[in-house]
A and B are shown apart, each in its own frame.
Chain A
């Protein structure tokens, strides 16, 4: 079935560092990729939606200059947390879809980001 690989699974770094997270669809072409943030014991919060070859659409309250999203190919999207601070520490999850919203979303296994 559809597999989404997210890398790295865990990152620990110093405050002020920029961190890049990759999301790859391994066996299908992902027209749309989604990036989520999840705090402990809470559900997923959509950060942005990206379509291949176009700029990402960010949800209200999400800083686009802070969370840079690139979706340059049908199998790869990246999220870069720029100048990360402790409050950016969270669980980040990507998902990929082959088409419009009625197509299933396939999730990666998430990235645990810890900023010291």
Chain B
């Protein structure tokens, strides 16, 4: 069964600090992995998308890594800002499936 597990479930950090969110998956055969940011009451917004051959992808202060061998991904946020407070969702797609598998998300709170 395709599954995506994210950790931690929630995280509180101080403004300016860095943090790393984790995503482990069992989706197979792997097609791509995406990280989304969802602000409260809004739809998810894509941060990064990685395919099998990509190990790292950056989008501003967000850097995603992918280890296809261990089926793990991480999202690193550098120099956090108050506006980074949101839910971060990891989504993995299989090549033979018509839908993606969503993680339960990590809720990040950045405090001043």
CB within 8 Å for A101 and B44 given contacts A41-B107, A44-B102:
no
**Complexed CA–CA distance, A101 and B100 (Å):** 7
B46 touches A49 (CB 8 A): no
| A residues in contact with B42, CB < 8 Å | 109-110
What separation, in Å, do the CA atoms of A42 and B91 have in the docked complex? 14
Interface residues of B in 14-70 (CB under 8 A from A): 31-32, 34, 36, 41-46, 49, 51
Cβ–Cβ contact B99 & A34, under 8 A: yes
B93 on the A face (CB < 8 A): yes
Question: Chain B binding site: helix, strand, loop or mixed by DSSP?
Answer: strand
Q: How far is the CA of A107 from the CA of B94 in the complex (A)?
A: 19
A38 CB → nearest B CB, Å = 9
Interface residues of B toward A: which range?
Answer: 20 to 34
B78 close to A (CB within 8 Å): no
State the majority secondary structure of interface residues on A. strand
With A and B bound together, what is the CA distance between A42 and B45 in angstroms? 16
Determine the distance from Cα of A44 to Cα of B100 in the docked complex, in whole angstroms: 11
Complex contact A101–B43 (CB within 8 A):
no
Say yes or no: is B98 at the interface (Cβ < 8 Å to chain A): yes
Give the size range of A's interface with the partner. 20 to 34
Whether the pair B43, A105 counts as a contact (CB closer than 8 A) is: no
Closest to A45 in B: B102
Encoded as 1 (CB less than 8 Å from any B CB) or 0, chain A from 34 to 66 comes to: 100000011110100100000001000000000
Binding site for B on A (CB under 8 A): 4, 6, 34, 41-44, 46, 49, 57, 91, 93, 95, 101-102, 104-110, 112
Listed from nearest, the 7 A-B pairs whose CB atoms lie closest are A107-B43, A109-B43, A43-B104, A101-B93, A102-B31, A107-B44, A43-B105
- Which residues does B use to contact A, with CB under 8 Å? 31-32, 34, 36, 41-46, 49, 51, 87, 89, 91, 93-95, 97-100, 102-105, 107
- A6-B43, A43-B104, A101-B31 are known; give 20 further A-B pairs, CB within 8 A: A43-B105, A44-B102, A49-B99, A93-B43, A93-B44, A95-B43, A101-B98, A101-B100, A102-B95, A104-B34, A104-B46, A104-B49, A105-B34, A105-B91, A105-B100, A107-B36, A107-B43, A107-B45, A109-B42, A112-B41
